[in-house]
Amino acid sequence: MNLESRFSVQRVADEAGRQQVIEVLRATYLREKRWVSDPETQIPPDDLQCADISWFVVSRRSRPAGVLRIRYDPPVAAYAKYGFKLLDPNLPVESFLREHRIAEIGRFAVIPRYRRRFLVAAALIRAACAETVERGYTHFITDVFEDEAHSPYGFHTRVMGFHPVATHEVGELNCRNRRITMVLDLKAAYQRLRRRGNWIYRYLTGHWDDALHRRLAV
């Protein structure tokens, strides 16, 4: 059985897909973590028609295993209300936001029984990277919870190459843990993974056409 046949990923485009997202968030964000009071509010129906938001759901034998949301051109400046503390006070935030195209990864959740399946998270990132690069975006930004038992911090930093840039104490979800804001340069990540030439590079980019590769290769 090859990797692609174990789990399938779909971009959510209808109410059936939305209900799969809600099923995952109900199991994780509501019942397990208590981060939200109503998982349906996390993916309002309008998200399905919004050009700046993409939801992905990964499934195993037609049952949802995990979800991820991309928000293109997120209102990063508006997030200042959360009280960001830069890890490097000299980081040129304004010029960085002005000179790059940013996509935000959020609502990255995997049902408990699948958390030991590395491929579930990889499949979601695979779908997110392909669409983001195709749309011409250059960087991912995301928040993870510090010292949270199921935080994707290790996956993001060790596998993908995200760099922590700031912390903040509060956010949209009802979690007491401090948030770590991280950034990924997609071209730098691509080139680093390509040099390594391991299975994760082949898995993430094996279905890309030449045009996508050329966007990040030089």
Residue 214 lies in a domain: no
Residue 164: pLDDT band (50, 70, 90) is very high
Q: What amino acid is encoded at 44 in this protein?
A: P
Count of domains for the chain: 1
Residue 213 lies in a domain: no
Least confident of 78-82, 98-102, 194-198: 78-82
The CATH number covering residue 128 comes to: 3.40.630.30
Could you give the strand order of the β-sheet that contains 102-110, starting from the edge strand earlier in sequence? 8-11, 53-60, 63-72, 102-110, 139-145, 179-185, 163-168, 85-86
Residue 27 lies in a domain: yes
pTM of the entire predicted model: 0.92
Q: Which domain holds residue 150?
A: 3-208
State the DSSP code for 15: H
pLDDT averaged over the chain? Answer: 92
Residue 36 lies in a domain: yes
- 3-class DSSP state of 182: strand
pLDDT digits over 7-54, tens only? Answer: 899 999 999 999 999 999 999 999 999 999 999 999 999 999 999 999
Residue 117 lies in a domain: yes
- 3-class DSSP state of 217: helix
pLDDT at 5 over 60: no
Residue position matching structure tokens 């830069």: 86
